[in-house]
Amino acid sequence: MAAAGTDSLWLAGAPPTAYPALEDDCEFDVAVIGGGIAGVSAALLLKRDGARVALLERGVICGGATGFTTAKVSALQETKLSEIDDLHGADGAAAYAAASLAAVARIDELVREEGLDCGWERVAAYTYAGDEEQVDAVVHEAHLALAAGLDVQLTTAVPLPFAVAQAVCLPGQGQLDPVRYVRGLAAAVDGDGSRVFESTAVATVEEGSPCRVRTHGGPTVTARDVIVATNYPLLDRGLFFARMEAARSYLVAARVRGPATDGMLITAGRPSRSLRAHRDGADTWLLVGGEGHLTGSDEAQPARFAALERFVREHFDVIDIPYRWSTQDGMPTDKLPYIGPYTLASSHLFVAAGFQKWGMTSATLAAGVLADRIAGRDNPYAAVFDPNRATVRSAPAVAKAQLWVARHFVGDRLSPAQAGSAADVPAGEARVVRSGLGKIGVYRDEDGIAHGVSLRCTHLGCLLHFNAAERSWDCPCHGSRFDVDGSVLAGPASAALERREAH
Ligand SMILES: Cc1cc2nc3c(=O)[nH]c(=O)nc-3n(C[C@H](O)[C@H](O)[C@H](O)COP(=O)(O)OP(=O)(O)OC[C@H]3O[C@@H](n4cnc5c(N)ncnc54)[C@H](O)[C@@H]3O)c2cc1C
Ligand code: FES
């Protein structure tokens, strides 16, 4: 049984993909694990460099976070430069801004060079003050953006049906349909010695000369270089789980009368509201996102969607709201993505992760950094985003993230069961149920059938929490997610939960 919630607007309208599963042991120059924007973009750049690439995807191409994104392509990203400036100073902020701007240009090139029909259009990006208290944050971001080389302006003229006290605008950014974009890139990867495989879950990678990529109960891919682009890094070496949190946000897509908006907008603080339009034939869509929290939090309730829907109906002329969905991304403790060697000792195993809900640009720049590295070319951003940079280990946020994990690892084991038996679980709901000396998770579906699973996350053993907004079991430690029958929806876990009898 799948998790609740509809497909995203992007996936609902997309034709199915039809790449085969990997069936035999094989050998390539590079294996790329993960068929989201990071993996597919990297695979294409490597193929263009002459490498024979295997792209290995557990589900379908663009069925992960990228299929559920808002897909704004912008170097102005909420108040990201303020966050980076705090930890890395003006040079760090300037490097991030320049790399993001270069990624916008790279996407523009890829769309044209591959002839992609993906709704790519240039629009202005805005960060606006959602209330008076956010005005200072907007002005500060504007100053940092100017200093970092972005051609921004302060303004109160925003393409919204309500007044705002302050906004910063960066013209010439872009938006697209992420599924049509990434699946278009994947089609360009497949062929001429390179292959795309779906329904192919990687279990582990042995780094060596060559590397061996072992799939779950299946064949092995041998490759000189391997890129792990699984959103949350699949392999525990490198200790990414100690320096990256997983955070979810929610989206609704409303069909509206009138023009919606001709910009891409986001508030400078909470409650976060992120808006963009999408035109499809006669329909004008407004996408509104926000209401984020860490994965596995008990905030994962239907109220998150309800708050977004209230906002849309309050400000726009809504016809209907047929799509609502949610997804998650990795949040590095020192606010910069992880792009480069997997560990200090790695020379053939690489990672691309930690895109902080801005992966359209960051994953694209990751593809360039990794392709350059594998081809032996210099890249001006390689050192900035090196996963093994000094700041990732010293940032105070590491301690905060570890405290959150420790609290859940121990506290959740001590907390009492919510029901004495599966019979006490109402239809359409889930409970942590006592079972012998331990606890199991039980969800009862609308037909009255109870679905029982072990609550022990197959990654590192934290106990799962029920996500009532999307009907899944989510891990508060590093963001793994499982459906009510235990299948993996999101990593780093790669093995399913054990099923349990639900009496
Ligand atoms: C609500 C929300 C809105 C966002 N909006 C924006 C936006 O407007 N602009 C922007 O720039 N960014 C945005 N982002 C961020 C952006 O969507 C992500 O950063 C980006 O999609 C991440 O791409 P990815 O390739 O790393 O991950 P994914 O798209 O998740 O791809 C990883 C793939 O790896 C596969 N995989 C995992 N484990 C295995 C395994 N063991 N074997 C094989 N395959 C595996 C998965 O199935 C998945 O398909 C948003 C994020 C969220 C949460
Ligand atoms: S995701 Fe790491 S323990 Fe669950």
User: Which residue among 295, 459, 463 has the greatest number of ligand 2 atoms within 8 angstroms of its CB, and so is best to mutate?
Assistant: 459
Residues 302/304/307/312 CA torsion (nearest 10 deg): -100
Q: Where residue 301 falls among pLDDT bands split at 50, 70, 90? A: confident
The residues with which 440 forms a beta bridge, in sequence order, are: 433, 454
Residue 7 has pLDDT above 90, yes or no: no
pLDDT of residue 327: 94
Q: Where residue 408 falls among pLDDT bands split at 50, 70, 90? A: low
pLDDT of residue 356: 97
CA–CA distance, 358 with 107 (Å, rounded to integer): 14
pLDDT digits (tens, 9 = 90+) for 236-247: 888 888 889 999
Residue 137 has pLDDT above 50, yes or no: yes
Q: What residue owns the CA closest to ligand 1's atom 20?
A: 359
Question: How far does residue 435's CA lie from ligand 1's centre (Å)?
Answer: 36
CA–CA distance, 96 with 81 (Å, rounded to integer): 8
- Closest to 196 in 3D by CA, of 206, 180, 184: 184
- Please give the average per-residue pLDDT across 282-310, as a whole number: 93
Question: How far does residue 422's CA lie from ligand 2's centre (Å)?
Answer: 25
pTM: 0.94
Ligand 1 atom closest to the Cα of residue 74 is 11
CATH code at position 488: 2.102.10.10
Q: What residue owns the CA closest to ligand 1's atom 52?
A: 357
Question: How far does residue 463's CA lie from ligand 2's centre (Å)?
Answer: 8
Question: How far does residue 296's CA lie from ligand 2's centre (Å)?
Answer: 10
pLDDT of residue 392: 65
Q: What total of structural domains would you count in the chain?
A: 1
pLDDT digits (tens, 9 = 90+) for 162-194: 999 999 999 999 999 999 999 999 999 999 999
Question: How far does residue 229's CA lie from ligand 2's centre (Å)?
Answer: 18
Ligand whose nearest atom lies closest to the CA of 401? 2
CA–CA distance, 438 with 269 (Å, rounded to integer): 41
Residue 180 counted as domain residue: no
Task: Please state whether beta strands 349-353 and 220-228 pair in parallel, antiparallel, or not at all (unpaired).
Answer: parallel
Q: What residue owns the CA closest to ligand 1's atom 27?
A: 231
Question: How far does residue 66's CA lie from ligand 1's centre (Å)?
Answer: 4
The residues with which 249 forms a beta bridge, in sequence order, are: 327
Q: Where residue 1 falls among pLDDT bands split at 50, 70, 90? A: very low
pLDDT digits (tens, 9 = 90+) for 351-391: 999 999 999 999 999 999 999 999 999 999 999 999 999 87
Ligand 2 atom closest to the Cα of residue 479 is 1
Residue 291 counted as domain residue: no
Residue 109 counted as domain residue: no
Q: Cα dihedral sign for 350, 359, 171, 126?
A: negative
Residue 439 counted as domain residue: yes
User: Which residue among 455, 458, 465, 477 has the greatest number of ligand 2 atoms within 8 angstroms of its CB, and so is best to mutate?
Assistant: 477
CA–CA distance, 127 with 113 (Å, rounded to integer): 31
Q: Where residue 290 falls among pLDDT bands split at 50, 70, 90? A: very high
pLDDT of residue 357: 97
Ligand 2 atom closest to the Cα of residue 464 is 4
pLDDT of residue 181: 98
- Please give the average per-residue pLDDT across 137-150, as a whole number: 98
pLDDT of residue 502: 80
Task: Please state whether beta strands 26-33 and 273-280 pair in parallel, antiparallel, or not at all (unpaired).
Answer: unpaired
Ligand 1 atom closest to the Cα of residue 56 is 43
Q: Is the Cβ atom of 357 under 6 angstroms away from ligand 1?
A: yes
Q: Is the Cβ atom of 80 under 6 angstroms away from ligand 1?
A: no
pLDDT digits (tens, 9 = 90+) for 38-97: 999 999 999 999 999 999 999 999 999 999 999 999 999 999 999 999 999 999 999 999
Q: Is the Cβ atom of 459 under 6 angstroms away from ligand 2?
A: yes
CA 208 from centre of chain: 29
Q: Is the Cβ atom of 63 under 6 angstroms away from ligand 1?
A: yes
Q: DSSP secondary-structure letter at 19?
A: P
Residue 102 has pLDDT above 50, yes or no: yes
pLDDT digits (tens, 9 = 90+) for 73-85: 999 999 999 999 9
Residue 5 has pLDDT above 60, yes or no: no
pLDDT of residue 400: 65
Q: Where residue 119 falls among pLDDT bands split at 50, 70, 90? A: very high
pLDDT of residue 242: 84
Q: DSSP secondary-structure letter at 24?
A: S
Q: Is the Cβ atom of 361 under 6 angstroms away from ligand 1?
A: yes
Residue 416 counted as domain residue: yes
pLDDT of residue 3: 44
Residue 145 counted as domain residue: no
pLDDT of residue 404: 64
pLDDT digits (tens, 9 = 90+) for 29-38: 999 999 999 9
Residue 470 counted as domain residue: yes
Mean pLDDT of the chain, nearest integer: 93
Question: How far does residue 57's CA lie from ligand 2's centre (Å)?
Answer: 20
Q: What residue owns the CA closest to ligand 1's atom 16?
A: 359
Residue 407 has pLDDT above 80, yes or no: no
Residue 403 has pLDDT above 70, yes or no: no
Residue 440 counted as domain residue: yes
pLDDT digits (tens, 9 = 90+) for 431-480: 998 887 788 999 999 999 999 999 999 998 999 999 999 999 999 999 99
CA–CA distance, 297 with 464 (Å, rounded to integer): 10
Please give the residue range of the domain that contains residue 454.
Answer: 411-500
CA–CA distance, 99 with 369 (Å, rounded to integer): 10
Q: Cα dihedral sign for 180, 120, 110, 115?
A: positive
CA–CA distance, 330 with 352 (Å, rounded to integer): 11
The residues with which 32 forms a beta bridge, in sequence order, are: 55, 227
Residue 134 has pLDDT above 70, yes or no: yes
Q: Is the Cβ atom of 35 under 6 angstroms away from ligand 1?
A: yes
CA–CA distance from 76 to each of 90, 148, 160, 167, 307 (Å)? 15, 11, 18, 12, 25
